Structure 1
């Protein structure tokens, strides 16, 4: 079945790869600040800044079958360097802005036979990591919210979370900007490489599809084995 998919943030990185993966099989609406990179894809673009704008609901179909929220931050600093305001900003972008959009599209999701919602967390919620206090707190809120939402709206909605480890996107560029750093980051993972945006897009596409119709309330670690394996 051809689904109506709303993708928040789809012009770069993981979001773009998700749009690229889905656009030929589904009707995809990408809400993002720019249309950069989307020119060759058969998608519908909505100008949207998740921190400032309200979605123009008139540009969306009455039925939304899939919802994917991609915006996020990587703010890695020692706790003593992170002010309360930085925690608030990370929570606003990663979590509260997502809540705002879910509220807006709720009735459209209800019009689907069974809507699938996909959110993003981080491996650092499950595995305590130094310098991750702010991002882990914000993403941890997403994991708790997703499970509660999945329970509240079952069986009408399926809600799942993808928790990647470090993935090679522009957001992580300063962590991978020379061969030494990349080798060090590769070696931290049991599979001896950092993630690629396509690795994450493949899981997102699966969770949107009917092939995952018996999966809800899950946090899927897509992390090269980092969250579960200790390979010496």
Structure 2
């Protein structure tokens, strides 16, 4: 196992299970010190504090170290409804968790990132933000906003050597997506939709995220990386 994160402080928002958990586990294995904000503490040796994207409180960040070498924002939703059935509350919740929550996690910590002199921020979007899918209106809008946030911040903080990148996964086998993979038929059908013949695993996304947040990606910023089995670009 590599040791890209020795002596690095990384903040992860949303790591109780699924992709965030896999990312936290990998960074710990590579020698990093991991701080997790969320609703539930993961079963890992991390430093945890409660944080809710729907009711963000920046005071919870006050005990973080003076220097953060990276932030990885994994909070998200899967709200698949026809456009005509979406309520304003649906749109608002998806926007707050996926986009506004990311801004609320990054802004109070920007000075900590600047002090790292080469920090990496990774935000998790969705293949749906860049590829048109029926019933994805709310999530596509929210994740599109998240990507806009990353693009703007990449420009604003390039001179401070903070990199902002986005990962846009397709369907991944996580607790959040359980209802989409709840039977053998659903799993087979979902796998066939992807040109590479399978749906994603948390480790697929964790591999990309831990690369982009590390010093190995020190000359990469403002990118949206599709980790999607080819679904976003191949037919």
Tell me if both proteins adopt one fold, taking TM over 0.5 as the criterion.
Answer: yes
Contact 2:103 2:149 in 1 (8 A): no
Q: What is the root-mean-square deviation in Å for CA atoms of aligned residues?
A: 1.2
Alignment partner, residue 123 of structure 1: 127
- Are 1:30 and 2:36 counterparts? yes
User: In the alignment, which of 72, 76, 87 is matched to residue 76 of structure 2?
Assistant: 72
Alignment partner, residue 48 of structure 1: 51
Alignment partner, residue 66 of structure 2: 62
| TM-score, normalisation: structure 1 | 0.94
Rounded Cα–Cα distance in structure 1 between residues aligned with 2:134 and 2:51? 33
Alignment partner, residue 136 of structure 2: 132
How many pairs are equivalent?
227
- Are 1:154 and 2:143 counterparts? no
Contact 1:114 1:158 in 2 (8 A): yes
Rounded Cα–Cα distance in structure 2 between residues aligned with 1:185 and 1:66? 33
Q: Give the 4+ runs in structure 1 shifted more than 4 A.
A: none
Partner secondary structure for residue 89 of structure 2: helix
Contact 1:7 1:68 in 2 (8 A): yes
- Are 1:109 and 2:118 counterparts? no
Q: Which runs of 5+ in 2 are unaligned?
A: 1-5
Alignment partner, residue 188 of structure 2: 183
Partner secondary structure for residue 116 of structure 2: coil
Contact 1:46 1:59 in 2 (8 A): no
Partner secondary structure for residue 144 of structure 1: helix
Contact 2:54 2:93 in 1 (8 A): no
Partner secondary structure for residue 221 of structure 1: strand
CA drift at 1:42: 2.6
Rounded Cα–Cα distance in structure 2 between residues aligned with 1:219 and 1:11? 24
Q: Which runs of 5+ in 1 are unaligned?
A: none
Partner secondary structure for residue 142 of structure 1: helix
